[in-house]
């Protein structure tokens, strides 16, 4: 099985949904504009199923590697119960279409941060 099957407790991070309004309330309109608006991005979280937005390959690989270090049921839950913005395609299905995501290393300056 995957990592974590030995019964040892560890630390983890859980990412959860937020809102554009929450981001602005916490960090301010100027930070939203600096981080996103100036690049023509007018939302962080409000992408609809028809948007065509896809996950950043480097970050998706990082998330999959992290999930693989957990118990098998955790890894499988991530792969089979997490969907792309289209609300139809699971992460596992997407990786079957894009196996290069898991074999492509992050840029040198992100290796330490995005290696699972």
Domain containing 22: what range? 16-46
Q: Do 89 and 42 meet the contact criterion of CB atoms below 8 Å apart?
A: no
Within a domain: 1: no
Same domain, 87 and 116: yes
Within a domain: 9: no
Least confident interval from 8-12, 20-24, 50-54, 60-64: 8-12
Within a domain: 31: yes
Same domain, 72 and 21: no
Same domain, 90 and 107: yes
Same domain, 59 and 24: no
Within a domain: 36: yes
Of the candidates 58, 65, 55, 56, which has an alpha carbon nearest to the alpha carbon of residue 108?
58
Predicted model pTM: 0.74
Please give the tally of structural domains in the chain.
Answer: 2
Q: What is the mean pLDDT of residues 64-93?
A: 95
Long-range contacts of 64-71 (CB under 8 A, 24+ apart): 64/91, 64/95, 64/101, 64/102, 64/116, 65/115, 65/116, 66/116, 68/2, 68/3, 68/116, 69/2, 69/3, 69/4, 69/116, 70/2, 70/3, 70/4, 70/12, 71/1, 71/2, 71/3, 71/4, 71/5
Q: What is the mean pLDDT of residues 83-109?
A: 96
């Amino acid at each position: 099985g995957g990592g974590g099957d030995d019964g040892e407790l560890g630390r983890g991070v859980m990412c959860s949904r937020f809102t554009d309004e929450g981001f602005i309330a916490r960090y301010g309109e100027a930070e939203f504009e600096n981080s996103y608006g100036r690049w023509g991005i007018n939302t962080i979280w409000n992408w609809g199923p028809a948007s065509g937005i896809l996950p950043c390959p480097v970050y998706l690989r990082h998330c999959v590697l992290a999930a693989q270090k957990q118990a098998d049921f955790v890894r499988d839950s991530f792969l089979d119960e997490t969907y792309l913005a289209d609300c139809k395609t699971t992460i596992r299905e997407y990786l079957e279409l894009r196996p290069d995501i898991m074999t492509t290393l992050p840029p040198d300056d992100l290796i330490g941060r995005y290696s699972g």
